[in-house]
Amino acid sequence: MRAATYSHYGDPSVLEVTEQPAPKLGPSYVLIRVERAAVNPVDWKLMAGYLDEMLDVVFPVIPGWDVAGVVEAVGPDVPEFQPGDRVASYARQDFVHGGTYAEYVSVRATDLAHVPDEVSFEAAAGLPLAGLTAARSREALKLRADDTLLIHAAAGGVGFLGAQLARACGATVIGTASERNHQKLQDIGVSPVTYGDGLVDRVRDIAPEGVTAVADFAGGVLDQTRAVLTPQGRHISIADPTVVDAGGRWIWVRPDGPRLERLLEKVAEGELRVDIDTVYPLEQAAQALQHNIDGASGKILIDPTV
C-alpha cells in the first residue's frame, strides 16, 4: 500500500511516500480503507523527536492518529462492525509505527466509531483527537452554566470544538484568537480577544471579576491564566504539564470509540461543527504538516485515495 513515511527524526522534509506492507488484522482489530486522515500538531512533534522519552518508535513511521474511512475487513470477535461500514477513530497505538497517512490502517474495535450517513468523511476525520480532547477537557473542568471560561487558542482544532461544547453547557466563553478568526468565534457565541501583550486587561474588560475556568490549548500562557482566574477557579492544559504544579490538570486524551460516536452524533444533528481548512493528497503530506506548523484556521486533512 502507499503510505507517507519517515525513517528518522526531522522536519516535514523527511516525509516521503513509499510502498509499505498492508497492516495485519489481529483479533479484535478492524482493517480500514482510509478515506481521510487528519493532521494534528502531535504528528510533527513526534516526527521531530520531541516525545521520544514518552513513546517507543519503530522506523519507518507512518504518522497520523486520526482517520475516517470504510471497513475493509474485521478480525476474529468483532461483531459490532462489518465490511462496508463508515467508521472513524482516534487510532493511537501503544508505540509509534503504523499510522493513518496511508491507504489502510488497522485499528482496535474498541477505538472505532460508526460515522452517521449525514457526516462527511472530512468532518469525521477532523473530529477524533480534537473532539475527544475537547470533551475530556470540558469534563475535567466540570463546566456549568454559571461558569465563565477562557479558552487559549479558541479558533484552533481543539479550541473551536471545546468552545462549542462549553456553549452547549450554557457557559459564557471568552476565546483568544488572531483578529482574522474573531468572526468565526462570534458565530458560535464566543467573545473573541486578541492574544499577546495586554491579554489580561482585555479579558478583564469582559469579565471584571475574573473567569472561573481556563482551558489552555496553546501552551506558554500559565502566567496569564493565573492572572485572570478566580481564587476557586479550575484550569487545564493540553500543552503545558507545569499546570499541575499550579493546581491545574494536564490533559492527555485516550482513544475512546463510544465517546467518539456520541460526538459524531452531535455533528450529524448539527450541534457540533468541524471546521476544515485544506485537504491535501497523500503525495503532499509534507506540505500538509508544514501548513499545520505555520498555522491554519481549521483542520488539515490528507486524502490517500487520489
The pLDDT assigned to 301 comes to 98
Measured in degrees and rounded to the nearest 5, phi and psi for residue 138 equal -60, -45
Band (pLDDT 50/70/90 cuts) for residue 100 is very high
- Which percentage of the chain shows pLDDT scores above 70? 100
The string of DSSP codes covering 143-170 is --TT-EEEEETTTSHHHHHHHHHHHHTT
The pLDDT assigned to 297 comes to 85
* Amino acid identity, position 54: M
- Cα gap 205→228, rounded to integer Å: 11
Query: What ranges make up the beta strands (E) of the chain?
Result: 2-5, 16-19, 29-39, 57-62, 66-74, 86-90, 96-98, 104-108, 112-114, 148-152, 172-176, 191-193, 211-216, 229-237, 249-250, 276-281, 299-303
**Beta carbons of 234 and 215 less than 8 angstroms apart:** no
The pLDDT assigned to 167 comes to 98
In 3D space, the residue among 47, 63, 56 whose CA is nearest the CA of residue 3 turns out to be 63
Q: In what order do the strands lie in the sheet with 172-176?
A: 191-193, 172-176, 148-152, 211-216, 229-237, 249-250
The pLDDT assigned to 213 comes to 98
pLDDT digits (tens, 9 = 90+) for 142-155: 999 999 999 999 99
Residue 129, pLDDT > 90, answer yes
pLDDT digits (tens, 9 = 90+) for 33-49: 999 999 999 999 999 99
**Beta carbons of 274 and 6 less than 8 angstroms apart:** no
Helix, strand or coil for residue 81?
coil
Q: Where are the alpha helices (DSSP H) in 114-221?
A: 121-126, 128-141, 157-168, 182-186, 199-206
Please, what are the domains in the chain? Answer: 2-127+274-303 (3.90.180.10), 134-250 (3.40.50.720)
Q: Could you tell me the pTM of the whole model? A: 0.96
The pLDDT assigned to 13 comes to 97
pLDDT digits (tens, 9 = 90+) for 254-267: 999 999 999 999 99
- Which percentage of the chain shows pLDDT scores above 90? 98
CB count within 10 Å of CB 254 equals 11
Quick check: bond before 21 cis, omega within 30? Answer: no
Please, what is the average pLDDT of the chain?
A: 97
Please give the radius of gyration of the chain, using alpha carbons only, rounded to the nearest integer.
19
Residue 128, pLDDT > 90, answer yes
- Which residue carries 499510522 as its cell? 99
pLDDT digits (tens, 9 = 90+) for 148-174: 999 999 999 999 999 999 999 999 999
pLDDT digits (tens, 9 = 90+) for 207-245: 999 999 999 999 999 999 999 999 999 999 999 999 999
pLDDT digits (tens, 9 = 90+) for 188-199: 999 999 999 999
**Beta carbons of 253 and 129 less than 8 angstroms apart:** yes
